[in-house]
Structure 1
């Protein structure tokens, strides 16, 4: 069995009610729900929430809300794996694949979801996660020292040409495919058994602050006008 789990707790602080805030005319959680349903990958698309209003909004866009998440799993420190594992246990499956899709991921596409499942299976990995490349070599990162001056974090690369440095990637904050067994065993997401689902940088934007939100809406408007979301 394959399920999608969209975590959406009600207690977001930096952007209040973030998971159902209007983004280009509809609640932001609608975007991952619709992409998951359109992908055809899942027997069930589940929203895991502790909030009745979020539950009703999610149902209105076609998601299942078969349980209300307990307060113990809806705090600021509970991780993705724990929420997905809870959903797996709640619906009672032991094998198959699960895909965590973040509620505030309006840039998630059907293609990325399908590619993620193919990547997970073809690589025989425990997880497959969306990532994107850093726009500048992180080996050239600088830090402000105790005297308020800049220092290279990796001084050995002071003279290394950019093209000679390995490309590095970071979590795109969108899709986390994994085997049911890996989620239930709480395997770490980045431990050498995770395959990359590489996304273009212009399809990636964390939305943690109001500034992020404004930037994301501007990016979405441009991409939407170019037919990027079908």
Structure 2
């Protein structure tokens, strides 16, 4: 049995009620639920939440909310893997044996069913013992990043790379914040996402946008409408 788990707590600070706020005509979480349904891989799509309104909206869009997330996993310091582990434990006890699990973030309106299917195939075909997670490239070589000191002056993190051409520096990747496939056993062991046993499923940069601030939100809506008009988003 494969299950999708969408963590969605109610206490978003920078964008209040972010998980269920209207995004281009639908609650933000609806995009993740719809992609999970469309990919055809899941026996159950479970939303882990501590919030009654999120529960009602998730149910309306076709997800299950069969338990209330424990308070100790719904605060500002709770991390993803323990939240998914608790949901897997619940499913193992109340539904049946779980084979593979996909954590899907509730704030990923660009997520596509095809990417979920392709990443799952990678997990199975390569027998990945860690996770297969969405990732994308950094838009600028991280080896030439610099910091701004309290004085306002700048300092490179790696000054030895100043004279190296950008195209000669190694490509770097970042978490795309959409999904994380892994076996139930991997989640139960609380292995970190970016372990040496994990693989990245690479997405093009134009299909990735973090939504952490009101500015991010506006940018994401503009990008979404453009991608939809161009046929990149189904």
* Range of TM-score over shorter length: over 0.9
How far apart in 1 are the matches of 2:68 and 2:151? 51
Q: Over aligned residue pairs, what C-alpha RMSD do you find?
A: 1.1
1:132 aligned residue: 136
Asked whether 1:203 is paired with 2:195, we answer no
Please state how far the C-alpha of 1:147 moved relative to its aligned partner. 3.5
How far apart in 1 are the matches of 2:152 and 2:51? 45
* TM-score w.r.t. length of structure 2: 0.95
Q: How many residues matched?
A: 230
Deviates more, 1:118-127 or 1:218-227: 118-127
How far apart in 1 are the matches of 2:29 and 2:193? 23
Please state how far the C-alpha of 1:148 moved relative to its aligned partner. 2.1
Partner SS state of residue 34, structure 2: helix
Please state how far the C-alpha of 1:181 moved relative to its aligned partner. 0.4
How far apart in 2 are the matches of 1:202 and 1:165? 22
How far apart in 1 are the matches of 2:213 and 2:52? 24
* TM-score w.r.t. length of structure 1: 0.97
Please state how far the C-alpha of 1:228 moved relative to its aligned partner. 1.7
Partner SS state of residue 46, structure 1: strand
Q: 1:193 aligns with which of 182, 197, 211?
A: 197
How far apart in 1 are the matches of 2:230 and 2:106? 23
On the 8 A contact 1:94/1:181 being kept in 2, the answer is no
Write out per-residue CA displacement over residues 163-212 of structure 1, whole angstroms, 9 at most, x where no aligned residue. 11110000011111111101001011112011011000011111111111
Asked whether 1:102 is paired with 2:127, we answer no
2:125 aligned residue: 122
Partner SS state of residue 16, structure 1: coil
1:217 aligned residue: 221
Asked whether 1:183 is paired with 2:187, we answer yes
On the 8 A contact 2:2/2:101 being kept in 1, the answer is yes
On the 8 A contact 1:101/1:174 being kept in 2, the answer is yes
Write out per-residue CA displacement over residues 114-155 of structure 1, whole angstroms, 9 at most, x where no aligned residue. 111011122222200101000111101011235421122101
Asked whether 1:152 is paired with 2:156, we answer yes
2:41 aligned residue: 41
On the 8 A contact 1:81/1:183 being kept in 2, the answer is yes
Partner SS state of residue 69, structure 1: coil
2:176 aligned residue: 172
How far apart in 2 are the matches of 1:145 and 1:48? 41
Deviates more, 1:96-105 or 1:141-150: 141-150
How far apart in 2 are the matches of 1:95 and 1:55? 23
On the 8 A contact 1:3/1:44 being kept in 2, the answer is yes
Structure 1 unaligned segments of length 5 or more: list them.
Answer: none
Partner SS state of residue 229, structure 1: coil
Deviates more, 1:215-224 or 1:67-76: 67-76
On the 8 A contact 2:91/2:98 being kept in 1, the answer is no
Partner SS state of residue 29, structure 1: helix
Please state how far the C-alpha of 1:13 moved relative to its aligned partner. 1.0
